[in-house]
Amino acid sequence: MKHLILAYLFWCTGGLLGWHLAYLGFNAQALSYAMTWGGWGWSWALDIWYLPQWVEAANAGTEFHERQMLTQKFHAMPRVSCWGWFMQLVLGRLVAWVGSSILRPGLPDIAYQSVQALMAGIGVYLGGLMCMSTEATASLKWTVVVGSSVQVVVEGVRRLLPELFAAHDLKVGQAFTSRMCGLFASVAAFYLTRQWKIRPKKTQRRSSCSGLMRHVVLLLLWSSACGIGVWQHGHIQLPNGQTGKMEDYTVREVVNNILQSPIWNELQSSGEYLYRTYQEDGFGSFWEHLRVELDPDGTHRALKDLGVATTATRSEVKTAYRKLMLQYHPDKLSPEQLADPQQVEEASDNFMRIQKAYETLQELYKHDPREEL
């Protein structure tokens, strides 16, 4: 027995990822929601009105069965809205790209074409189920086979008769690629094979936990496929550090550069230090060292700015502060340094940084009578 309150709770917290539909046992529709973030938010927003019908369909009581039989009597075929056709095209292209991007670069073009054709049919099938009645279905086999066959035929004709697809007046080559023809063929096959489900009055539904667990597995598989595709074929445009112009970089190059950056090395060193502390001194000491590394009160940063160790005494802090103030005070600059605006600005910034660091430590000394912080 599915409860409307729980369904609305899942709708509010994870509806864009299809959690409310997974709870109700509609895993195919839930996966479609997750792939498109709830139909770009539109289908998810409409569910605020349609969710009671989803719950009623999940429970499949006698009243629902009788009303469904009456609907099928007046509508021989399930209806597909314009929004459903649009979602079929969107999901077909999306799933086709993710499926082909899993393949490693450098494979023959026929491998990418084949995988794209198969995955496009699956995407069209999921998009159609997402926008039809829960009691409607279609043939996954014919949706995939017809779309794949049309794409193969069109691609073969394009290669055998390239002059036909090079027409400049009609722009045939741009409007009717083999992928688009296969995609529209899959949509047509889904539309022609749609039908009502044949279900007895009382249907044994799986438990909500099993539906949610299946959805978790499907989400992990989809997320992994998207991650692999972005890693292998993704590109990012970033400004060049020398010319300032936008240039194209692969995701691998960007990630490798980040992993070799100074800030990443510092984070890695801090992580390794904390892990060794946890192994040697236990959990309590780990939290103390973590607090020191995070430096919430600014002590660590202030001591670093003054160039003293973390075990420095108050007298050592005061000595370092006076020495740095004499070094960076604007009145202590030489005439040559005063003539250079960049050196004057740098000295002023250092002076203010040192002054702030000393004030931070002085404030801490007021609340901590110890000689060492």
In the chain, residues under CATH classification 1.10.287 are 296-373
**Residue 236: which pLDDT band, with cuts at 50, 70 and 90?**
confident
Q: Spell 133-166 as b/e; 16+ CB within 10 A means b.
A: bbbbbbbbebbbbbbbebbbebbeebeeeeeebe
Task: State the number of CA atoms in the 13 A half-sphere of 7 facing the CB.
Answer: 24
Arithmetic mean of pLDDT over the chain:
82
The pairing of strands 195-196 and 235-239 is unpaired
pLDDT of residue 152 exceeding 70: yes
In the chain, DSSP finds a helix count (H) and a strand count (E) of 18, 4
| Three-class DSSP category at 137 | strand
Interval 291-344: pLDDT, tens: 766 777 777 788 888 888 877 788 888 888 888 888 877 777 777 777 788 888
pLDDT attached to residue 139: 92
Interval 75-131: pLDDT, tens: 888 888 888 889 999 999 999 989 888 888 778 888 888 888 899 999 999 999 988
Partnered with residue 250 across adjacent β-strands are 235
Interval 11-57: pLDDT, tens: 999 999 999 999 998 889 999 999 999 988 998 999 999 898 888 88
Tell me the C-alpha distance between 241 and 243, whole Å.
Answer: 6
What's the whole-model pTM score? Answer: 0.68
Looking at domain 296-373, its CATH architecture is Orthogonal Bundle (1.10)
Tell me the C-alpha distance between 129 and 78, whole Å.
Answer: 11
Q: Are the beta carbons of 118 and 99 closer than 8 angstroms?
A: yes
